[in-house]
Amino acid sequence: MKDKKQNNVRGVKIRTINGVMIFLACVLYILVIYATLQVSLRYDELVSATNNYIACEKNAAIVREGSDYLTEEVRLFAVTAELRYANDYMKEVNQTRRREKALEELGQFTFSQKAGEYLEAALFNSNKLISRELYAMKLVSVAHAYEKKSLPKEVGDIQLTAEDSELSHEEMLLKAQDMVFNDTYQEAKEEIMEDIGQFLDDIVAEMGQSQSKSVHALQNMLAQQRGYISVLFVLNIMVFIMNIMLVMRPLRLYINCIKEGKLMQITGSYEFQYLALTYNDIFEVNTANQELLRHRADHDPLTGISNRGSFDRLREILKVSANPMALLLIDVDEFKKINDGYGHNTGDLVLKKVAGLLQDQFRSEDHPARIGGDEFAVIMTDITPERKDVIIHKLSSIGLELKNPKDGLPKVTLSVGIAFSPKGMDEGLYQQSDKALYYVKEHGRDGYKFYDEL
């Protein structure tokens, strides 16, 4: 029976749904975590690119600042010939090294080959310009006859060309000043700054592309994250709806069915359908048992017609009836002799036969009952004394059948007392029928008597 019940269940199992939902939730959770990590990485890349751009701008400014400072110092030395300017120049070149450090730091960034060429050119031209400036300072120091030991080592170690050595002091000063003030010097400086500018342009372009890629990737990951969260939200809504459809709704229906004492509707998930089928099986068995108990409580177990308890309850119900009725009290004559002479089994068969004849002869709306060992009663509804002939005909048919048995049972006669009530089962109706029955038994049995004829 269990296998048959399982075959009748076609619902989706809550366990399966829960497993699928948990799996999907875990997958979505992992995807959301992954998207969050990717967003963080893309953000870091964007911040790094921005920081690199800022660093490049800063170092470019430092290069310009350092270059301008060296130019200023070498020009001041060429004009004033004061050694402090030469010392400040060499301090910038050897110790502070703003220009070189900035160029070195720019060289640490990732850049294209073309950008690298611009940076190398800037470094080369910068070193070349320093050599020009040192040579100019050498001319000034020779023109003013400074001792070598008083000069910065880099300046003192420089050897003038044979041609420049033949120049007069005034010519040496003029040439030194011309070397740091003429167009060639200015063009060399501008070339350095142009190379740095080109380098920065390439770096900025590359960083702009990197930023654009980072921004695009960041937007994509944020969109994915929103998508995953939306799917997770929809999944939660689906769980809520399925909980209502597969759990809450069946529970509400089942509670109503239990309250109303009805069979459960087969709905909801597999588990609830299985529960409903099991409940319905138990309900049907219980209903059948209750019907059986109710039948046993209301019917005589031997004859199958109503018993004394059912008869008394019916009398109480009919007390408020507004319809006319009749009550027949019936005794089986000499029944003890049948039990003694033929045995109790035969006696039981006789009682069953009498009950069966009462059921057959009287209407379906009439109520035959066994109210004692050999005592029967019939309550007839909607009948008046004017229809006595109907009752007489029925009793005659029953008497004829009992006196002429064809089933091997002994002959039996009945004594019947009959009384009418114009309205319901009044208090005196039973006593009147009983008096009529007593009259028949006192006058030879085997007959009937109406109370109103006494």
pLDDT value of position 45? 75
Amino acid at 198: Q
In terms of DSSP bridges, do strands 367-370 and 414-421 run parallel, antiparallel, or are they unpaired? unpaired
* Contact indicator for 371, 311 with CB cutoff of 8 Å: yes
Ranked by mean pLDDT, the top range of 5-14, 192-201, 375-384 is 375-384
* pLDDT tens per residue across span 402-412: 999 998 899 99
Q: In a 3-state reduction of DSSP, which class is residue 160?
A: coil
Strand partners, 415: 331, 447
pLDDT value of position 214? 72
Q: Which residue has the higher pLDDT, 367 or 273?
A: 367
Q: Has this prediction a pTM greater than 0.75?
A: no
pLDDT at 10 over 70: no
* pLDDT tens per residue across span 318-327: 988 889 999 9
Kindly state the DSSP code that residue 313 receives in the 8-state scheme.
H
Rg (CA), the chain: 63
pLDDT value of position 283? 74
In terms of DSSP bridges, do strands 447-450 and 414-421 run parallel, antiparallel, or are they unpaired? parallel
Tell which residue, 349, 318, 304, 340, has the closest CA to residue 421: 318
pLDDT value of position 332? 96
Q: Which of the listed CATH numbers 1.20.58.220, 3.40.50.720, 3.40.50.300, 3.30.70.270 matches domain 300-453?
A: 3.30.70.270
pLDDT value of position 149? 86
Domain boundaries, the chain: 14-222, 300-453
pLDDT value of position 110? 67
Q: In a 3-state reduction of DSSP, which class is residue 381?
A: strand
* pLDDT tens per residue across span 55-89: 877 887 887 888 888 889 988 988 998 999 989 98
Q: Which residue has the higher pLDDT, 55 or 177?
A: 177
* pLDDT tens per residue across span 288-311: 666 665 656 678 999 999 999 999
pLDDT value of position 289? 66
